[in-house]
Amino acid sequence: MDFRIGFGYDVHQLQQGLPFWLGGVQIEHTKGSLGHSDGDALIHAICDAMLGAANLGDIGVHFPDTDPSLKGIDSKILLRKTMDIIAQIGYTIGNIDSTICLQRPKVKDYIPKMQAELAKALDVEPQQISIKATTTEKLGFVGREEGVTAYAVVLLRKN
């Protein structure tokens, strides 16, 4: 099979006083993502999509939250390690399409920097990475600013 498609989803609770990392970029906000790592929901969704496309489980299988060595880790490191896993079985990234759901803050001005950071970690071109952002129109936990969600679809190509 020359092409594989994977879907990823992640959610993190937002809490006052934590740093907010999204797409490998620190976002200015009063709240940040609670997580075992740095809580970067977008990167975690992309990792899950990559691993799913390769039928290799999910991020929790490869980087469990029970591993003390991963406490507070920069999610770009997890993304790079996921890319290494994918490369070992002969695949590269074709493209990534992703969506961030977040009521506040608005992140559209951060998207080009996120694309650049993700591209650097994955050794691809920024134009291979689509990032969109939306709100939930104040509905649900995202609308109440209690959390952030991210979705990603990844196309892998056989080398």
Burial class (CB in 10 A: 0-12, 13-18, 19+), 151: buried
- At the topology level, CATH places domain 3-158 in 60s Ribosomal Protein L30; Chain: A; (3.30.1330)
CA distance 147 to 13: 4
CA distance 101 to 42: 10
pTM of the model: 0.97
* Residue pLDDT, tens place only, 81-104: 999 999 999 999 999 999 999 999
Residue 1 pLDDT level (bands cut at 50, 70, 90): low
The residue ranges of every structural domain in the chain are: 3-158
Question: For residue 10, what are its two tokens?
Answer: 């992640």
The mean pLDDT of 17-42, rounded to a whole number, is 96
Of 104, 115, 108, 147, the C-alpha closest to 23 is 115
